Amino acid sequence: VRLRLLGSAAGGGFPQWNCGCANCAGLRNGAVAARARSQTSAALSADGERWFLLHASPDVRAQIESLAPLAPRAPRGSPIAGVLLANADLDACLGLLSLREGTPLVVVATRRVLADLRACSFARALERSTGPVEWRALELGESAPLDDEGHVRVTALPVPGKPPFYAARAASPEDNVALVLKEARSATSVVWAPTVARRDAALERALRETDLALFDGTLFRDDELARQGLGPRTARQMAHWPVGESLPWLARLARRRVLVHVNNSNPILREDSPERRQVEQVGVEVGHDGMDLL
């Protein structure tokens, strides 16, 4: 089984087009030791032939080009068989619109997430293509095969989160999930949890047993944005558990722990920051684009 982290930043990427925070400005002028990052996504394959994307980020085109096995092997077509979504946030799903060129694609998510996407008129661009998108719903807690051979199975585990702002509806347990992926041959398991609002007992059980956790690294502190003059909202209001608080918990779970969905304001992006040291000292890694994790 292979898993490549294609992108590791939160919505907006790093640097973000309209952001002049210390990190973004410092990355542009070379004053901070950090890597540029595209928006969070990963590519998974059991056999190296058929691939699934975990999220279709707004950077999906460049991300596909960054990994050779994702290139077409015929005049038309793609080794990418489908896209899995943990939620309907725009930075997780906007890339679907860039995958509208008529190649059959399966989009796998909870019923609620699929409904939010399909309520958007842009989704019709995906449905009218000659190889239309197949919307495949995941039932919470039920394992489903990703391929006919059953090489990889996925389970959606409800995790504290929120509906996307554009959906303007009541919250549902299907709004945000962790995707628990299991590959049969190697018995390898991965938990994809880029958005986690707070501690959760069922997630803790899943993380305890997994080989690899890809976990919410959005913000380090609850008031990080306000402190830097970037906006009034706290991490909690945005449904992200601050890394400074989740770290001791995460550090004793999973065999390997990698933070993804890292916002450009987060001090852990600076390779020489005390916060980065704090994360690495307890054996948690900060994800970066191009990391081969399996």
Residues in touch with Zn ion (CB under 5 A): 19, 21, 24, 264
Least spacing, CB of residue 107 vs Zn ion, in Å: 30
67 CA to centre of own chain: 17
Q: Which is nearer to Zn ion, 46 or 269 (CB)?
A: 269
Least spacing, CB of residue 70 vs Zn ion, in Å: 29
Structure tokens at 198: 């707070």
Least spacing, CB of residue 219 vs Zn ion, in Å: 12
Q: Which is nearer to Zn ion, 145 or 231 (CB)?
A: 231
Q: Which is nearer to Zn ion, 57 or 264 (CB)?
A: 264
Least spacing, CB of residue 218 vs Zn ion, in Å: 13
Least spacing, CB of residue 262 vs Zn ion, in Å: 11
Q: Which is nearer to Zn ion, 11 or 82 (CB)?
A: 11
Structure tokens at 180: 């628990």
Cβ distance 145 to 152 under 8 Å? yes
Q: Which is nearer to Zn ion, 16 or 57 (CB)?
A: 16
How far, in Å, are 32, 52, 131 from residue 106 at the CA level?
Answer: 40, 9, 10
Pairing of β 177-183 and β 188-193: antiparallel
Helix (H) or strand (E) holding 153: strand 152-158
Cα gap 217→209, rounded to integer Å: 20
